[in-house]
Structure 1
């Protein structure tokens, strides 16, 4: 069965429907992405029993979830992207999933901080090889005009994984050992890693990008430095990465401290977090990413400016909800208001990923996706939680009861910076449309 059924057109053939093999590939890659984020949530949710067992300090936990993980995850993605652009991308994803799953099991078997730190850095190393090749594989399974929805569905992995991590982690801590959670997830990941090459076949690079019915030719191998130079010399790609990174300062800053804020300053209990906060994350993030993918496919057919205007509009709508969430006097009201930014904050993700995949050559897609993630995650992971934590400590002396609330208020102006960058991107895309003479 072919991935795409083609219909005749005056200029040749064009893709009209997506076959079963493409959907199986998407579902498999999505599940791998879910496991990726479920693992990340376990560390923060199970922090207390980990501390009790291994005597790990708060600062050490911060290094495990922040600097150590981000450094390996962000920078290893570049050579992995280069490798995947020149070899079998499905094999890269399969091996990466196996590495991080084995490392996840090692987290559960760790006897001290040194072993746990080594295991977590290996998790970051493995996870660096999962997402960028998956973007390119999906792009080669789905035609232009269907990629926004496909990538939107794929990007449901983080919210589902995050929600499962919250619910699973809070429950497992009370019923079983924290070690069992890491080992169980690691075993599942190893099984999926072995099954992936049988479920996902390597698609032809650029096979759905032929023009006027001409057969797609095998592209040349993507030179590493030439691809890096291409990416950072094109204003649209750089602006998409910067705007997304600034947006992630908000999402990572808010995401890393929302539970602590709701519990410490709003009076929410851990049991309520496991149920209600997990539901808000699952429904809000999933809904936002899915709807953004659907809107992208609808509006980018008229103009590529939609890749930038949709995130700008969604962030503008999210800002008042975010301010109201931080202000709310009780956790039920705060959680209800949090649904707004949780839904609207993530429109940027499918937009930026789809734009980058559309704008570069087929043999540069994995590397370009890795560069996008490098900029986004290094800015978001590196600045967001660090900024909120430092601001909370700064305000604690004068406002000990609500220092975290003031710190979260300080994220509000960053919305304006992100909106401005996306509007700038829309202007750049508009100029490119005019120069090309199309919409």
Structure 2
């Protein structure tokens, strides 16, 4: 770190207000992920209504969405680092929620593509400002746990999306969940703007950075991130992991219904339960485990996700193989617990590694790398692979396509182990200088 420390040292402990901020941002993240996942959750009725293929479905949930979500996040991150992060977050929430309503009104595949791209445009301003707000609200030693709670957003959003989306779609059609959830998001955007205060940049750091209030320069920050081995290994390890998680997540419901025999009513109850307990439990546990491991060594930011992915991989293969949906869901629950340790670890590492006035843009760059590869290419890969296997006469084309995700576990584990070695070497050098 090249930050120049202030002579004064102050640690801010979490307050009741901190809890409110975390709860508000987590709810926004719930809506963010819920809106994003509705396409995958309602894939079967959308396919039946608009007559689209697995490949087209993969492009909507993957590349088309990520083209806006990933690259718009960079200028949005730069803007938020220089202006109000709460203001950027509120505006972004309003945009993606309005676009979600438009998804529910789409009459053709082309209209759905445009609406989804607009959702991606809005959601680009959701997560990076939230990372920085939380980091400036919670001190070191508490951040990974706070980010772990924040990262419950995907678990809660996916679970609510499944339970609410499937139940409402079964009764009123697939369009109504988009319209209702989008309307809730617009109201939430206004409430966040009115109730969440902008925290002081660097206000909770143990050593105060004298330059925290300065405006971060765009290209120097981008160059710093792309040339920083620790940041890039964290981003690439997360990207390889997300290739699996998004590839699976966008097609899991369709796979369970089409090839494992689940009905929409079963999905609304049992798949929602697996997401809530599996992914949610993993997020909470991962934050606490990472905080504990990193008190001994910063290598814990990499060791924890490497170990968790090694545990998840055989259960993932078992999930794809399972002959029926009850066994598949039981195995998937274990996968969900261990698939998401990487998220809190990588976010906390990146936020602590950079200067306070670079946190939003650095968070956006992290999301660019991991989401363009994971979110953009993972679902696209699975959808096109399924179409290819189907063209070869494979009657279980989605199963075959999901098997092809397994090697990416090994890629992610290797990247995180390399990051762990680098962090250990840096710690040894720092201790030798001290």
TM-score bracket relative to the smaller structure? over 0.9
Q: 2:305 aligns with which of 305, 311, 316?
A: 311
Q: 2:113 aligns with which of 98, 117, 129?
A: 117
Which residue number corresponds to residue 194 of structure 1? 190
List aligned pairs for 1:28-427, cutoff 5 A: 28-50=24-46, 60-211=56-207, 218-396=212-390, 400-427=394-421
CA distance in 1, matches of 2:164, 2:327: 24
**Which structure 1 segments of 5+ residues have no match?**
1-10
CA distance in 2, matches of 1:42, 1:401: 26
Q: 1:50 to 1:322 in 2, by over 3 A?
A: closer
Shift of 1:433: 0.6
How many residues are paired up? Answer: 427
CA distance in 1, matches of 2:404, 2:47: 30
Q: 1:178 to 1:395 in 2, by over 3 A?
A: closer
Moved more, 379-388 or 94-103: 379-388
RMSD of aligned Cα (Å): 2.2
Tell me the TM-score normalised to structure 1 length. 0.91
Moved more, 245-254 or 37-46: 37-46
Shift of 1:335: 1.1
CA distance in 1, matches of 2:124, 2:137: 22
CA distance in 1, matches of 2:378, 2:195: 37
Kept after mapping to 2: 8 A contact 1:39/1:104: yes
CA distance in 2, matches of 1:70, 1:114: 16
Residues 185-226 of structure 1, C-alpha deviation per residue, up to 9 Å, x if partnerless? 122111111111232100000011252xx6856432111110
**Which structure 2 segments of 5+ residues have no match?**
1-6
Secondary structure at the aligned position of 1:301 is classed as helix
CA distance in 2, matches of 1:420, 1:62: 27
Kept after mapping to 2: 8 A contact 1:206/1:216: no
Moved more, 231-240 or 379-388: 379-388
Kept after mapping to 2: 8 A contact 1:245/1:380: yes
Secondary structure at the aligned position of 1:90 is classed as helix
Kept after mapping to 2: 8 A contact 1:24/1:199: no
1 or 2 for the larger relative contact order (CA 8 Å, sep ≥6)?
Answer: 2
Secondary structure at the aligned position of 1:219 is classed as coil
Residues 129-179 of structure 1, C-alpha deviation per residue, up to 9 Å, x if partnerless? 010000000000000000000001000001110111111121111222433
Q: 1:325 to 1:13 in 2, by over 3 A?
A: same
